[in-house]
Amino acid sequence: MTEFEEFLADEPLDAHIETFWRMGEEAQNVHLRVRPPEVEMEALKLLGEPDFAPNQDFADRLAQVYRTVSQKALEVAFGEGE
């Protein structure tokens, strides 16, 4: 029996249902820095133009989506989003 199987056998899954989503003490050591990217659209630049869509319109639309998602992520991180 694996260690995980032993854990499951010792305690039913619902034994900690009230505290399942609470962060433990270990979370105090996690530090996140939310900031705009140093290089705008870095992932898109690293990946380059997709072979399946040689049309520049696709790349422009993807860049627009990338910017929108990045902005929304910053708004949510700083409590400006809904």
State the DSSP string of 17-63. TTTTTS--GGGGG--------SSTTHHHHHH-S-TT---HHHHHHHH
pLDDT digits (tens, 9 = 90+) for 4-22: 778 777 777 788 788 878 8
Alpha-carbon distance 19 to 33, whole Å?
26
Listed by start position, the domains of the chain span 3-77
Q: What's the pLDDT at 55?
A: 76
Alpha-carbon distance 60 to 37, whole Å?
19
72-82 mean pLDDT = 79
